[in-house]
A and B are shown apart, each in its own frame.
Chain A
Amino acid sequence: MNLRRIGLLMWKEVLQLSRDKMMLPLIFLMPVMQLIMFGYVVGADVTNIRTVIVDQDHTVMSRDITEAFSASGYFKIVDRLDSEDDVQPAIDEGTAMVAVLLPPGMERDIASGEQVPLEVIVDGSDSKTASVASGYAAQVVASYERERLTALGAVPDGPGIDARVRVLFNPSLRSVNAMIPGLVAMILMLSVSAIMSQAVVRERERGTLEQLFVTPIGRAEYVIGKVVPYVGIAIIQTLSVMVVGVLWFQVPFYGTAWIMALGLLLFLFTGIGQGLIISMISNTRHQAQQTTMFILIPTMVLSGFIFPIESMPAAIQPLTYFIPMRYILVIARSNAMKGAGMSALWPQFVAMAVFAIVVFGFGISRFRKQLAD
């Protein structure tokens, strides 16, 4: 093991990277792009749902309810219609996703003690928005009803069941809070496996790998010289994602730095191992790219990064245990959002350690063997 040679390999790698017009933007644009995508697009919460009001009552009460919808922030009143018949065309055309029907005589009937149906029509073609919208609508109506009864001095303090859901740890239910810790893990994985495997395959394509191994450079020196620069890049990327997450997206961090760091470190070794394996089974950079995609898609879909594991079909769920990303996501999210410690996260840490040892160990030993043949 010769430090000077390792230093030279690292120097050379950084120089090459700094001149790579394809790779360099990728390294710096990727985290930014992913932050924007996941921070604003995927993780965006449902607000400003286009809503039409059909007010056939024209009373103080109907105006108050309309105002309550509008003031909630979830609904944006785009039109007021006179007839229920106009609702269908508005939803068909996509001008509205939700219609609120306030029937004629509503205020009068309530005053006379009758039960009045308030109809909310939701466009179910986008199931996520539809379920969120109907939930919000029910909430808006319930809270209006509660205020009305309180004003009348009626029921509230009396007997009866009042379900109040209290969301722990992420009270505003902002998806971005869960997205950013996941994104940190994802970017770490991409840097050390996707980008590093490209660099190794490029070296083999050009014949410089063969040349390096007729010099006194040892295999261990080569691996270290190759891995360290990409780990450095991964660290810069993850730190910048974290900083942007906390400062720009206001993601709270309740976690412990060392628990987070230890989890990411174990995950890093898995990523390096994966990168080495990809670079061995790929002869060209194009193949390496395909292999990366092949691994990336199940990682994104099955790890819980985008879709919650609990909502996957029961038959699919066992597969998620084979996705290393699954465990780091639990560690990163629980630690960042809940401050969960070792006593809660040790099963994930054990799983991460097993993956790190198996994938990294396999990658290194096969890499060594392949270079020897």
Chain B
Amino acid sequence: MSFFKRKIELEPPAPSAPGVAVSVQGLSKRFGDFVAVDGVSFEVGAGEIFGFLGPNGSGKTTTIRMLCGTIAPSGGGARVLGLDVAGDAEAVRARIGYMSQKFSLFEDLTVDENLRFYGGVYGLDGERFAARREYILKMADLVGREGELARNLSVGWKQRLALGCAIIHEPELVFLDEPTSGVDPLARKDFWELLYELAASGVTLFVTTHYMDEAANCSRLAFIYRGDIIAIGTPEDIRVREMHDEIFEVESSDVDAILTALEADEDVQEVYLSGALLHVNMGSGGNAAERLDAAIVRADLPGTSATSIEPSIEDVFVHLVTRERSERGVI
């Protein structure tokens, strides 16, 4: 229906190279005066598990929604599986899968009805649907529970059923927006096993997460901050390239007190909680261990010890965000 067609004024993006699943070219999105995504460019290779990281409100979801063709870019463009997302949104949507953090199942339909609905929407015929249905029920560990309402499933099963619905048509590329939020650690681990299996079968995965341990599972990462990509590469690349600072893990009988004391100390670059422990960034100025010991002495809190550690992805992330904030003059 022409009534529903969107007017397209943007130049189509350049064709993507072979082996590239997603090619983002100067993509931006404005909502009124607010710039949600500010001219980002990057590529995702076919078969990658691409991790898209950033604090809340940094533009992750907006980027994904543009790549899925549900919202129109304000500038630039992108090719997904070689198709222009602005001009060919419908064709893009037929070939990708999408799973959001809400799991977006029809809660008042049964497991089987959810599968039938999505199978039908993607145009699966009887035989192929039967095969895919069986595969997904097995994958999601829902064999024998086909007649249960989705509402009554516990969160881990809901999550796997949502993944099943998103991949029922065997898409070449799946977008997963915080697919593990609100799920317990064990279920998260199981879910990542499923993602590895999918990736091993050649499917490209584009995953956003705010769990830093999950970021380390990705084959490549991009950090987005306030609508800009601030670092991109394999986890190892990013660590080596972006992180020259020395990181310590600090254990203390009074974590709150030492956190407050070190935050106030001018010789300490960054200090933040990581689980029950503190991570301290002493910068790259050398003599880091001695300087930290001196800071701890100044804090005058007995029962505090520091150990030098390899920076994790989380440390890199905190470092990058802190650096961006101070460069942009944002608190």
Contact = CB atoms under 8 A, between A and B. Distances in A.
A214 B96 contact: yes
B1 A213 contact: no
A368 B70 CA distance: 11
Given A8-B121, A15-B113, A372 B72 contact: yes
B68 interface: yes
A291 to B, nearest CB: 23
A105 interface: no
A8 B98 contact: no
A98 B122 CA distance: 73
A5 B169 CA distance: 15
Contact of B117 (A12, A206, A368, A371): A12
A164 interface: no
Interface in B82-102: 90, 93-94, 96, 98, 100, 102
Contacts of A219: 4
Given A16-B109, A214-B93, A215-B93, A4 B123 contact: yes
A20 B70 contact: no
B248 to A, nearest CB: 41
B108 A19 contact: yes
Contact of B100 (A1, A210, A215): A210
Contacts of A25: none
Contacts of B34: none
Contacts of A220: 1, 3-4
B90 A218 contact: yes
Contact of A373 (B31, B68, B98, B121): B31
B205 interface: no
Contacts of A208: 104-106
Contact of A217 (B100, B105, B108, B121): B121
A214 B70 contact: yes
Interface string A7-21: 010011001100110
Nearest to B107: A206
B71 interface: yes
A8 B117 contact: yes
Contacts of B149: 19
Nearest to B91: A216
Given A12-B109, A16-B108, A210-B104, A215 B121 contact: yes
Nearest to A216: B94
A4 B96 CA distance: 20
Contacts of B196: none
B4 A213 contact: no
B4 A368 contact: yes
A89 interface: no
B120 A5 contact: yes
A207 interface: yes
Contacts of B69: 214
Contacts of B109: 12, 15-16
A12 B98 contact: no
A1 B120 CA distance: 14
A250 B177 CA distance: 60
Interface string B112-131: 01000110111100000000
Contacts of A216: 90, 93-94, 121-123
B328 interface: no
Contacts of B71: 372-373
Interface residues of B, number: 33
Contacts of B241: none
Give the residue among B100, B102, B121 with the most A Cβ atoms within 10 A.
B121
Interface in A185-227: 206-208, 210-220
B120 A215 contact: no
Contacts of B98: 211, 214
Interface in A104-160: none
A207 B102 contact: yes
Give the residue among B4, B100, B113 with the most A Cβ atoms within 10 A.
B4
Contacts of B118: 215
Contacts of B4: 218-220, 368
Nearest to B70: A213
A208 B107 CA distance: 9
Nearest to A8: B120
Contacts of A8: 117, 120-121
Give the residue among A216, A217, A364 with the most B Cβ atoms within 10 A.
A216
Give the residue among A2, A215, A218 with the most B Cβ atoms within 10 A.
A215
Given A1-B1, A12-B109, A372-B6, A210 B70 contact: yes
A215 B122 contact: yes
Contacts of A373: 31, 71
A48 B78 CA distance: 78
Contact of A16 (B68, B100, B106, B120): B106
Contacts of B6: 372
A211 B100 contact: yes
Given A219-B4, A372-B72, A12 B93 contact: no
Nearest to A371: B70
A368 B106 CA distance: 22
Interface string B20-57: 00000000000100000000000000000000000000
A5 B117 CA distance: 9
10 contacts: A8-B120, A206-B102, A206-B104, A206-B107, A207-B100, A207-B103, A213-B70, A213-B93, A215-B93, A218-B4
Given A208-B104, A216-B121, 13 more contacts: A206-B102, A206-B104, A208-B105, A208-B106, A210-B70, A210-B104, A211-B98, A214-B93, A215-B93, A215-B118, A219-B4, A220-B1, A373-B71
Interface of B: 1, 3-4, 6, 31, 68-72, 90, 93-94, 96, 98, 100, 102-109, 113, 117-118, 120-123, 149, 175
In the complex, the 6 A-B pairs of residues with the closest C-beta atoms, listed nearest first: A207-B102, A211-B104, A214-B98, A207-B104, A8-B120, A214-B68
